[in-house]
Amino acid sequence: MKNLTFIFLFLTAFTFNACSSAANENNSGDVNAEGQVNKLTAESFQKLVWDYKASPQEWVFSGDQPAIIDFYADWCRPCKMVAPIMDELSKEYKGKVRIYKVNTDEQRELAGLFNINSIPALLFIPKTGKPQMSVGAMQKPAYVDLIKNVLVVK
Q: Report the catalytic residues.
A: 76, 79
110 contacts 42 by C-beta, under 8 angstroms: yes
Question: Three-state DSSP class for 16?
Answer: helix
What is the rounded distance in angstroms from the CA atom of residue 59 to the CA atom of residue 127? 12
102 contacts 69 by C-beta, under 8 angstroms: yes
Residues 6+ apart with CB under 8 A from 125: 49, 61, 63, 66, 67, 68, 69, 131, 151
- Is the link from the previous residue into 66 a cis peptide, with omega within 30 of 0? no
